[in-house]
Structure 1
């Protein structure tokens, strides 16, 4: 790895953490999904997978060790891989907005499955049903954020990558 790659991965990880913290006061409205999608397309899957691991590890340092960390180590790399793969085929922001919306909508379900392993299936179902209003908001806000911000952010980063590489 080049020093430029290490610096880039650090900056992208910090941007994700700062973006999440900046919107933490708004329930289930986040910019992390949008940024992971764009980073996967612009900077590639390999770099962005490292960013997802660093981001998740940073989250653990901020919020502490708990069962949610297992899902974070799966869900963010999965989004990176899916985005990187479909990024070669999907050319409009609508496909990515749909992906982000579905991801936000199913976020609680991913955690419910994980919680079921630790506390039982009843707890997992209760966890998921109780969180459905937040998941709906999460999916809707992800869809809207990607629809509005995908093109301008991607175009800006594309221009910067030309200078970087």
Structure 2
């Protein structure tokens, strides 16, 4: 791996951590989904997957270890893979906004299923039901964030990528 790639992955990971921190006071409104979609479209699968590993590991260093972090090691790469596959067919921010919304709506269900591996299905069902209002906020906010920010941030990052000679 080239030094430019290592530096890029560090910067992308830091931007995810900063973005999460800035919005942490607002329940279930996050910019991570949006940034992973943008990073996958612009920088590709490999860099985005590596960024997700560094970001999730950083989460452990900041917040401590919890079973939810194991889910991050699975969930963010799934979003990246979905984005990578769909980027050939999605030509506008509307398509990615829908992907982000669905991802947000299903986020709690995924974690309920994941937590059931540790605590049983009797824990997972109330966990998911209790979180449905937050999943609705998550999905709607993801949709709005991608719809509003996709074009301007994509153009800005593409310009920076070109100026820095990143392939």
TM-score category (smaller protein): over 0.9
Whole-angstrom distance in 2 between the partners of 1:130 and 1:116: 15
For these two proteins, the number of residue pairs brought into alignment is 165
Whole-angstrom distance in 2 between the partners of 1:25 and 1:108: 19
Show structure 2 runs of 5+ residues with no match.
none
Q: CA deviation at 1:152?
A: 0.5
Name the residue aligned to 1:121.
121
TM-score for the superposition, normalised by structure 1: 0.98
Name the residue aligned to 2:2.
2
Computed over aligned residues only, the root mean square deviation of the Cα atoms, in angstroms, reads 0.7
TM-score for the superposition, normalised by structure 2: 0.97
Show structure 1 runs of 5+ residues with no match.
none
Whole-angstrom distance in 2 between the partners of 1:88 and 1:55: 26
SS at match of 2:90: coil
Q: CA deviation at 1:164?
A: 2.2
Whole-angstrom distance in 1 between the partners of 2:162 and 2:137: 36
Name the residue aligned to 2:159.
159
Task: Compare 34-43 and 79-88 and name the one that shifted more.
Answer: 79-88
**Equivalent runs, 1:5-154 vs 2, <5 Å:** 5-154=5-154
Instruction: State the Cα deviation string for residues 40-86 of structure 1 (Å, max 9, x = none).
Output: 00001100100000000011111111110121000001111111121
